[in-house]
């Protein structure tokens, strides 16, 4: 079983492009540089571009905790959170596949 995180996001309407650029940088760095990151998916509602979701899977909780200590994640927090109206995180256990 893996450690998973679902993040539901509501982006401020005037900040969509800025936020999406920042989250793409964070996701790409997580996928390419963190051995414990199995996937980092960024999804956006085609009918409402202010509505987005992240789906992240890590080997275990320790790998997720390591992710939170990376420079790219810290940069994301410093810049991107100001462009959100709402962020809801839900931690899950990935049981399949």
- Stated as kind and residue range, the H or E segment containing 93 is strand 84-94
Q: What is the pTM of this model?
A: 0.94
Q: Calculate mean pLDDT across residues 16-34.
A: 98
Check the CA dihedral 68-21-18-40 and report its sign: negative
Retrieve residue 63's tokens: 């790998």
Asked if pLDDT for residue 90 goes beyond 90, the answer is yes
pLDDT in tens, 45-76: 999 999 999 999 999 999 999 999 999 999 99
Structural domains of the chain, with CATH: 2-92 (3.30.70.100)
> What band does 97 get if pLDDT is binned at 50, 70 and 90?
confident
């Amino acid at each position: 079983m893996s450690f998973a995180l679902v993040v539901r996001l509501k982006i401020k309407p005037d900040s969509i492009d800025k936020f999406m650029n920042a989250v793409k940088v964070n996701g790409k760095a997580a996928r390419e540089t963190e051995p414990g990151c199995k996937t980092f998916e960024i999804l956006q509602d085609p009918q409402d571009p202010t509505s987005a979701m992240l789906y992240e899977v890590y080997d275990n909780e320790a790998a997720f905790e390591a992710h939170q200590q990376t420079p790219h994640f810290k940069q994301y927090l410093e810049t991107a959170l100001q462009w959100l109206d709402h962020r809801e995180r839900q931690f899950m256990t990935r049981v399949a596949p």
